[in-house]
Amino acid sequence: MEINRRQMVMALAAAPVAGRVNAAPAPVPATGAQPDDEAYWAGIAAHYDVTDEVIPLENGNWGMMARPVLERYQAAVRHVNRENSYYARRGMGADLMAVRDRLAARMGFAPQEIAFTRNATEALKTLIGGYNRLRPGDAVLYADLDYDSMQACFDSLRSRRGVEVVRIALPEPATYQGLIDAYEAALRANPRIRLILLTHLSHRTGLVVPVREIIAMARARGVDAIVDAAHSWGQIDTRPVDLDADFIGFNLHKWWGAPLGVGLVYIRQSKVDLIDPDSANSPPFAAGAYDRVHTGTLDFAAQLTVPDALDFQDRIGDAARAGRLRRLRDLWAEPLRGEPGLEILTPTDRRLYGGITSFRFAGRTSVADNKAIAQRLLAEHRIFTVHRDGPAGGACVRITPALFNSALDVETLRAGLVTVLRAQRG
């Protein structure tokens, strides 16, 4: 059945293993692997074509596609390019709605509650900019560990909505209850707060915030929450529906290994009227997420490849993937906890971290300090990572392993860190 452009838009929304290239690795075995089964994870790593120039431990920017996913994406690009509008106006809408429906089921949501975006940033901009409950004199709240662009979106509400912007610093070191208490104290001190931003897993330090508990506490006070889940879904073993959130932004090109340019916005059906339809859409507006976002023409092949990314990751399993990423983090972070002059910026409570963890040398809190540390790890030990700015306690260096990293990779990091730290101590 032929569909017009409007229908199309609605449908869219509706060991180091570095350098290893294996032409035909064994198929991914069924789920259930233990986090320390290096032979199993070497088999997983064989599905990735990774640079041999460095040991890549900066995988938080986006996630590399496994080779089977990359090959399916390339095939989808060829198909969309070859068939062009003949496919786009006849069959692609139904195909993309099928992808959306599978994602919704995987996440625990109704299909009309999610819509494609190009990334989590676009999803969260949609939610923050479209939230229509704010009135002059109200207040909004965010924390130091929230993503820079989302902080900027909240800051813009001062001029756009006439609200007060409240910023807090999350406790460092953090505890589970301490994080809940920090938000509760802020809400108690600022009773005009109507909206808060919560980052489930911080891109800055890797800290996991107990968002479900904070949402419940805020909701009881009449406060809504927008959740940034760009780094949590797929990195830790959690199902989005279990967050019990009303508004969430996601990426699929980080921890699910989909092609670049695929994100999702979630709006609980009963709260959809709190988010304005996108100004590029025209009435009548459907009571779902897809009229709240408008991206125009984008990479349809990337969206069509999402099921292949899910297939690859589902063979591994959520618990196995999360356990492996946490183990890779534990192999360097926990042996170094307590090392004089080194601060590990996620706690030992396993509820509060996944694979990402940042560190800081005591007293070295500037951006320049941490850029220099990252550069030294690269120059002297071939460890590629990145500095992060923004935590109230100062800048830091972030370590982000991926499934293609090995225990030897993170042991090289641990040894290199000790060398650099002790050299700086003189």
pLDDT tens, residue by residue, 222-245: 999 999 999 999 999 999 999 999
pLDDT at residue 25 in the model: 61
CB-CB contact of 400 with 235 (8 Å):
no
Whole-model pTM: value is 0.92
pLDDT at residue 340 in the model: 94
The residues near 287 (Cβ < 8 Å, ≥ 6 apart) are 112, 269, 272, 273
Q: At what angle do helices 148-161 and 120-130 cross, to 10 degrees?
A: 20
pLDDT at residue 337 in the model: 96
pLDDT tens, residue by residue, 177-209: 999 999 999 999 999 999 999 999 999 999 999
CB-CB contact of 43 with 29 (8 Å):
yes
The residues near 422 (Cβ < 8 Å, ≥ 6 apart) are none
pLDDT at residue 30 in the model: 59
Low-confidence ranges of the chain (pLDDT < 50): 1-24
Domain edges within the chain = 92-310
Q: Chain centroid to CA 54: how far?
A: 24
The two three-digit tokens of residue 164, written as one number: 């007060």
CB-CB contact of 288 with 278 (8 Å):
no
pLDDT at residue 148 in the model: 97
What is the rounded CA–CA span in Å between residue 111 and residue 59?
30
Cβ-based neighbour number of residue 149 at 10 Å: 15
pLDDT at residue 287 in the model: 87
Task: Please state which CATH class domain 92-310 belongs to.
Answer: alpha beta
What is the rounded CA–CA span in Å between residue 245 and residue 200?
11
What is the rounded CA–CA span in Å between residue 401 and residue 25?
21
**Which one, of 420, 237, 214, lies nearest residue 319 by Cα?**
237
